[in-house]
Structure 1
Amino acid sequence: MDMAQAFALASGALVATNLASIVIAGLRLDRAGAPPPDLRKTPPVSIVVPVRGIENFSGETLERAFRLAWPRYELLFCVAHASDPIVPLIEAAAAAHPQVEARILVGDDRVGANPKLNNCVKGWQAARHDWVILADSNVLMPPDYIRHLMGGWRRDSGLVCSTPLGSRPDGFWAEVECAFLNTQQARWQYAGEAVGLGFAQGKSMLWYKPMLDANGGIHALNAEIAEDAASTKLVNRLGLKVHLVSAPFEQPLGRRKGREVWSRQCRWSRLRRVTFPGFFGPEILLGVLPPLLLALAAVLLGDMRLLPAVLFVLAGIYLPEIALAFAKGWRLSRWSVPAMIVRDLMMPAIWLRAWLGGAIDWRGNTMTIGTQACELEEAPAGS
C-alpha cells in the first residue's frame, strides 16, 4: 500500500466513524417531544437550582420550573448573595405558584474551586426528599421533566442526566453554539453511552440522595474541578453507570457573540482535558478538517481527483448530521451548515487551547484550571 492509499483509507475511516456515531446516537435517541417512559412509582423529588444573575430566558425557565407534571416536588433556588438581581424574579414566580414548595437559600459555601458546586451545597443539605435533581438555571424544563429523568433510572444506574439541546438561537454565533451542542457534543455523548462509555453532564443530574450521602455526599463531587467529571468517576468506582434521558432537554440560547462561544467551548475543552485526558486526546480527530486534510494528501500523492474527494468528505460528514437533526426535531436552518463548518474550523484551535494554561471566565468567575490545582476568583454578583 502506498502513502496515497493509506491517507485515503484513513480519511474514509474517519468519515465512517463519524457516520457510525450518528447511527448509534440516532438509534439511542427519541425525537424531541416524545413521551417519557411509564412509571409505577412517583416519589417526591427535590430540585436544586443554582442561580446567578439574570439570563436571556430567566423568566421562562423559572415559570417552567413551577409547572412540572409531578405529584410532589420542591424547588430549592441557591444564590450566593441576597442582592442578586435574580432573587425578585424567583420570589414573583413562587408567589404566582403557591402550590409548589419553593425556597430561596442564600449563602456562599466555599468547598472548592467550582462556583456552581459551592452554590449547590446548601441546597443539597436542605433537600427533604431522597431523589434530588441538580438542575442548571438555563434548562427549559418540559412539563414531564422529572418523569423523563426518573424514567431513565435503571437497576445499574448511579446517575441519570441530560445533555443541553441548543434551541432558539438569535444570530449566527448562536447557530454555531447549536452546532456545537447538538449534532456534535450531544451526538457523541449519546453514542458513548450506548456503547457503555456514559459520562455525566452537569445540566440536569438525578441522584438518589442516600446513595451519594453514603459515599461522601455532595462534597465528594469536589474531587474534580467539574462536578460532572467527579460524578462520572464516583459512579464508575461504585460499579454503576451513568445513563441519559431518552431525549435531551432544551437550553434556549438567544443572542451569542463569537467570543462568548469561544470562551465557553475553551472552558469545557480545558475541563475535559484536565479530568479525562485519555478521552480528550482523540478529539483532535473530530470534525471535517482531519478527514479533509487526509483526503487532500491522498490527492496530492496519488492520482485521485480533487473535487470528488472533497465532496465525498463534506457529504460524508455533514449530510448525516443534517439527517440526525431532522429526524430528532432539532434546530435546523439555512445557517446550520455554515455554522457546522465554522464550528469545525474552530475545533482544532479550541483543542490546542485546552493544552495551554491561563485563566478562563466562568459566569463572572475568573478561573485558572491546571492539571494539579484550580484557583477561583469570584466577581461581584450581577457583574
Structure 2
Amino acid sequence: MTGPLVSALTTPWPELVWLLVALCSAAAFYGLVAAFTMPRLGTASLVREAARRARRAQPVPVSVLKPLCGAEPRLYENLATFCEQRHPRFQLLFGVSSPVDPAIAVVRRLKAAYPGHDIELVVDPSVHGSNLKVSNLINLAARARYDAIVVADSDIAVEPDYLEIVTAPLADPEVGVVTCLYSARSIGGFWPRVGALFINEWFAPSVRVAHSTGSRAFGFGATLALSRATLERIGGFAALKDCLADDYLLARYARDHGLATVLAPVVVATDVIEPTFGALWLRETRWLRTIRSVNPAGFASLFITFTTPWLVLGVLGYALLAASGGMGTCAATRTALAALATATTGGIIARLVLHVRASGSWGTFWRDLPLVPLRDVLLALQWLAAAFGSHVIWRGVRVSVANPEAGETSAMARPANSRRPAVEGPDGR
C-alpha cells in the first residue's frame, strides 16, 4: 500500500517534497502568528482604560439601531445588556417589519423592565430594496434623534462601558466607522460548540492577524458606530439597500471617502445557535462564499489557515519519506525530514496555544480539544465547497452573491472611481 504513495512523494521528490515542506511551514508560521497576535484586545485592563478615556472626553448622545427578526434564544438577555449601559444619554430603537413578529413581545418586556429608558419599538413593513435588514435600518434611522449612531446585530451582548468606548473615536473627524471584534458563545449542544470554534479559533485570529499587518478592510455587524454626517456622506442606508454585504460595505463606503475604520478595543459576544450539521454548514459556507466574492485572492489563500490538515500531511509526508529508505542517503532528504518535523511540531504547538487562548478556561480547553481536528477539517471542506456556486442561503432565502450594479443613490454618494463588490466581507456574521 505504501509503495505507490512513497513513489508519488519521491518522484520527482524535490518538487513535491519541498512544496509540502513549504506549505506545512507556512501553515505553522501562520498558526504561531495567529496564536500570539494582539493578545490584549478585549482584556479587562484595556477596556477599563478605554472607558476612562471615553468618559474624560464627555460622551455624546447616541441612537442605537437594533434591527430584529424573530425571537432568537437569549434575545431578551442580549438586548438587556444595551439597557445596562453607563452612557449618560442614549436612545434604543428596535425595529421589526411584521406586526406579528415574536420579537415584539421581547421588546415590550424590555420596556416594562426598564421604564426610565428611552426605548422605542418601530413596526414598519416598508421595503426599500432587496436587503430586508437594510430596509429595517432605513425605517429605524428616520426615528434616530442623535448625531452619533450605533448599529448592532440582535444576537450581540455587550459590557456596560460599550457605548462610551465605541463612540469615543467618532470625535476624530478622520474616523468614519468604528467596529468591534466578537467572541462566540455556543447555545445548545454539539454543533453550536463546533460553530463557536469557527469564530473563536479561525475568524477572530484571522482578523487580528490582518489588523496587525495594517489592514482595516473590515466592518462587522456586531458593531458599526458612525456619525450622522458620515452616514449622509455615503448616501445613507439607502446606498446599501440592494447589497447582501451591508456591514462590510458600510465601512468600505466610508473608507472610499478617506475616512478611517477603527477596531475598538472592546470585544462583544455573539451566540451560535445552529442545532444541526446542515444549518451550520449553510451558515459557514455562506460566510466563506461571500469572502470569495469580496476578495477572491484572499479567499484563495485561506487554505494555509486550516492547520490540522497540514499537520496530518506533514506527519504523513515525514513517515513516507522516512519509509522510502532515504533517511541516510543524502543531505537533501535529511534536511527535508528535519524541516517537516520542525514545521509539524511548530504547527501542533501553535494550534494548541491558539486553542488555549480561545478557550478561556481549562475546563473548556479539555472539553473542546477533541473538536479541534473536526473543526479544521470541516473548515477545509467548506472552503472547497465555497469555491464554487453563486448563491447563499440567508434566513431560508436563496440569495445571489454576484456584484450587482450600484443604485443611483450610492453612485452619487461615492467617488466615481471607486469599485466595490456588493457582498459581505469576512466578518463571520
2:368 maps to what in 1? 336
Distance 2:221 2:73 in 1: 20
SS of the aligned residue for 1:246 comes to strand
Among 275, 284, 291, which residue is 2:303 paired with?
284
Distance 2:44 2:300 in 1: 31
Deviates more, 1:213-222 or 1:4-13: 4-13
Deviates more, 1:236-245 or 1:306-315: 306-315
- In structure 2, do the counterparts of structure 1 residues 154 and 187 end up closer, same or farther at CA, with 3 Å as the change threshold? farther
Q: CA deviation at 1:149?
A: 1.1
2:79 maps to what in 1? 62
Q: CA deviation at 1:323?
A: 3.5
SS of the aligned residue for 1:248 comes to strand
Q: CA deviation at 1:74?
A: 0.6
* 1:161 equivalent in alignment to 2:179: yes
Query: Given the two structures, how large is their TM-score scaled by the length of structure 2?
Result: 0.78
Amino acid at match of 1:324: R
- In structure 2, do the counterparts of structure 1 residues 162 and 221 end up closer, same or farther at CA, with 3 Å as the change threshold? same
1:318 maps to what in 2? 351
* 1:360 equivalent in alignment to 2:379: no
Contact residue 151 and residue 245 of structure 1 kept, 8 A: no
Distance 1:29 1:283 in 2: 25
* 1:300 equivalent in alignment to 2:320: yes
Q: Percent identity?
A: 23
Among 192, 196, 199, which residue is 2:210 paired with?
192
Deviates more, 1:90-99 or 1:160-169: 160-169
Amino acid at match of 1:266: T
2:279 maps to what in 1? 260
Q: CA deviation at 1:188?
A: 1.2
2:10 maps to what in 1? none
Distance 2:368 2:87 in 1: 36
Q: Which runs of 5+ in 1 are unaligned?
A: 375-383
1:381 maps to what in 2? none
* 1:238 equivalent in alignment to 2:261: no
Q: Which runs of 5+ in 2 are unaligned?
A: 1-12, 328-336, 407-429
Q: Which has the higher helix share?
A: 2
Q: CA deviation at 1:258?
A: 1.8
Q: CA deviation at 1:138?
A: 0.7
- In structure 2, do the counterparts of structure 1 residues 180 and 253 end up closer, same or farther at CA, with 3 Å as the change threshold? same
Q: CA deviation at 1:220?
A: 2.1
2:14 maps to what in 1? 2
Q: CA deviation at 1:162?
A: 1.4
Amino acid at match of 2:376: D
Deviates more, 1:269-278 or 1:71-80: 269-278
2:414 maps to what in 1? none
Contact residue 141 and residue 249 of structure 1 kept, 8 A: yes
- In structure 2, do the counterparts of structure 1 residues 365 and 115 end up closer, same or farther at CA, with 3 Å as the change threshold? farther
SS of the aligned residue for 1:334 comes to helix
Among 79, 84, 94, which residue is 2:101 paired with?
84
Structure number with larger C-alpha Rg: 2
Query: Given the two structures, how large is their TM-score scaled by the length of structure 1?
Result: 0.87
Distance 1:266 1:324 in 2: 25
Contact residue 32 and residue 347 of structure 2 kept, 8 A: no
- In structure 2, do the counterparts of structure 1 residues 141 and 79 end up closer, same or farther at CA, with 3 Å as the change threshold? same
Distance 1:208 1:214 in 2: 10
Contact residue 28 and residue 194 of structure 1 kept, 8 A: no
Among 191, 214, 219, which residue is 2:233 paired with?
214
Amino acid at match of 2:272: L
SS of the aligned residue for 2:129 comes to coil
Q: How many residues in Structure 1 have an aligned counterpart in Structure 2?
A: 373
SS of the aligned residue for 2:39 comes to helix
Among 33, 45, 49, which residue is 1:20 paired with?
33
Distance 1:357 1:365 in 2: 15
Distance 2:163 2:109 in 1: 23
Distance 2:186 2:312 in 1: 33
Distance 2:352 2:157 in 1: 28
* 1:349 equivalent in alignment to 2:381: yes
Q: CA deviation at 1:354?
A: 2.0
Amino acid at match of 2:142: Q
- In structure 2, do the counterparts of structure 1 residues 114 and 239 end up closer, same or farther at CA, with 3 Å as the change threshold? same
SS of the aligned residue for 1:77 comes to strand
- In structure 2, do the counterparts of structure 1 residues 366 and 22 end up closer, same or farther at CA, with 3 Å as the change threshold? same
Q: CA deviation at 1:153?
A: 4.8
Distance 1:31 1:318 in 2: 25
Distance 1:294 1:81 in 2: 52
Q: CA deviation at 1:233?
A: 2.2
2:192 maps to what in 1? 174
Q: CA deviation at 1:324?
A: 2.3
Q: CA deviation at 1:151?
A: 4.1
Deviations 1:247-293 (A, max 9, x none): 31011335632222211111111222222223222112211245336
Contact residue 168 and residue 252 of structure 1 kept, 8 A: yes
Cα RMSD of the aligned pairs, angstroms, is 3.0
- In structure 2, do the counterparts of structure 1 residues 172 and 308 end up closer, same or farther at CA, with 3 Å as the change threshold? farther
